[in-house]
Amino acid sequence: GQNIDQPTEMTATEGAIVQINCTYQTSGFNGLFWYQQHAGEAPTFLSYNVLDGLEEKGRFSSFLSRSKGYSYLLLKELQMKDSASYLCAVRDGDYKLSFGAGTTVTVRA
Amino acid sequence: ETGVTQTPRHLVMGMTNKKSLKCEQHLGHNAMYWYKQSAKKPLELMFVYNFKEQTENNSVPSRFSPECPNSSHLFLHLHTLQPEDSALYLCASSQDYDSTGELFFGEGSRLTVL
């Protein structure tokens, strides 16, 4: 099976920056996804990386290093509405998508 | 609104009951999925359907029985479940199974087995 690790919880202050790390070990690689899930809601797509480097989308950025099996999601200028669970997911060589357990981010005023 | 609708949103059932979860997607996608989400655990892939054909059964007990009558609808039939089956069941769809496109999730059906 696949092995995807991310921290369980993180807390940060409104306006600050938080970096959520994800490490993975998979058989083959066809991309890494980040999803956001608010309590009681559907996970929603945030970003996709398949090549090494940084992808920026507004306040959110995602980085990938395939050789290190490593990604991070960077949340800047944190807002209260960013309090949610962030899921790292990796698509393996057979296109099967496996998820990490999620990182719960709490933004404090 | 993600384009994937699940009903019911909440379900409480006894271990001897038979119930079904329903999922409908309005995105014209060809692949549909059932995932189980338990607290503090990764999403567990249960079943995958691509063009109405089941392409993956991730060692799911037979008390869970999927049905995909067409590319837009997916059901999960439940029978003689156990309390440990209590979880959030998420349906998702994607354009195709063997592609790099993202999954679109429904809001889930929260199942409690008494």
Which residue type does A80 have?
A: M
Of all residues in chain B, the one with the smallest CA distance to A49 is B100
DSSP string, A15-69: T--EEEEEEEE-SS---EEEEEE-TTS--EEEEEE-SSEEEEETTEEEEEETTTT
| Minimal C-alpha gap between B14 and chain A (Å) | 23
Choose from A3, A62, A95 for mutation: most chain B CBs within 10 A: A95
The residue among B40 and A15 whose pLDDT is bigger is A15
Average pLDDT over all residues of chain B: 92
Q: Can you tell me whether residue A7 is helix, strand or coil?
A: coil
Q: What is the pLDDT of residue B99?
A: 76
Question: Quick one: average pLDDT of B26-39?
Answer: 94
Q: What is the pLDDT of residue B1?
A: 66
Per-residue pLDDT at A1 exceeds 60: no
Look at B40 and A98 and tell me if their CB atoms are within 8 Å: no
The residue among B40 and B61 whose pLDDT is bigger is B61
Question: Quick one: average pLDDT of A45-74?
Answer: 96
B99: chain A residues, CB-CB within 8 Å: 95
Query: Tell me: the pLDDT tens digits for A31-57?
Result: 999 999 999 889 999 999 999 999 999
Q: What is the pLDDT of residue B59?
A: 86
B41: chain A residues, CB-CB within 8 Å: 101
Question: Quick one: average pLDDT of A69-90?
Answer: 97
**Closest CB from A33, A42, A101 relative to B2:** A42
Question: Quick one: average pLDDT of A57-66?
Answer: 96
> Does A104 contact chain B (CB < 8 Å)?
no
CA atoms within 13 Å, Cβ hemisphere of B29: 30
Distance CA B10, CA A65 (A): 40
Q: What is the pLDDT of residue A2?
A: 67
Choose from B103, B107, B109 for mutation: most chain A CBs within 10 A: B103
The residue among B50 and B100 whose pLDDT is bigger is B50
